[in-house]
Amino acid sequence: MTNLPSKPDTLSPADQLRARLKADLRAAMTARASIAVTTLRTLMGAVDNAEAVPMPETNSATPPVVGRAADVPRRLLTWQELRTILEREAEERRRNIEQYEQLGKKEFAAQIREELEVVQRCLAGIDELSAD
């Protein structure tokens, strides 16, 4: 993962990881590494989804209030929760590699292997960030 300047202590673990992922995404885009770009975007989406809180049940007949933000505060994720998200992404890719190899689709398995390498680098980055 890309080295970033020292992290401000005010950022949540998810914000620190997101900053790291964005820096890696910029580097991958510059290098035109399409698999890394796609994988990093997927990881950022997984973190965003994990931060989402359930929306309260509303009466669908009630129109939305104009001029008010519908945003709700996001969940704050711990380093362990972030690690679990990335480990889940890695495990999904391992299963996909196995399935593609069983089907004899080596080229797809190779692509998923590249994605797995990106996820593993991000897992190593979480260890670095959480140790600071």
pTM for the full predicted model = 0.79
| b (16+ CB within 10 A) / e for 55-68 | eeeeeeeeeeeeee
The pLDDT tens digits for 103-112 are: 999 999 999 9
Distances in whole angstroms, Cα of residue 126 to Cα of each of 20, 52, 87, 106, 112: 9, 20, 11, 30, 21
The per-residue pLDDT for 127 is 84
Q: Residues 53-79: pLDDT tens digits?
A: 876 676 555 555 555 556 667 888 999
List the domains of the chain with CATH numbers.
13-52+77-131 (1.10.1510.10)
Q: How far apart are CA 75 and CA 49, in angstroms?
A: 10
pLDDT band at residue 81, thresholds of 50, 70 and 90?
A: very high
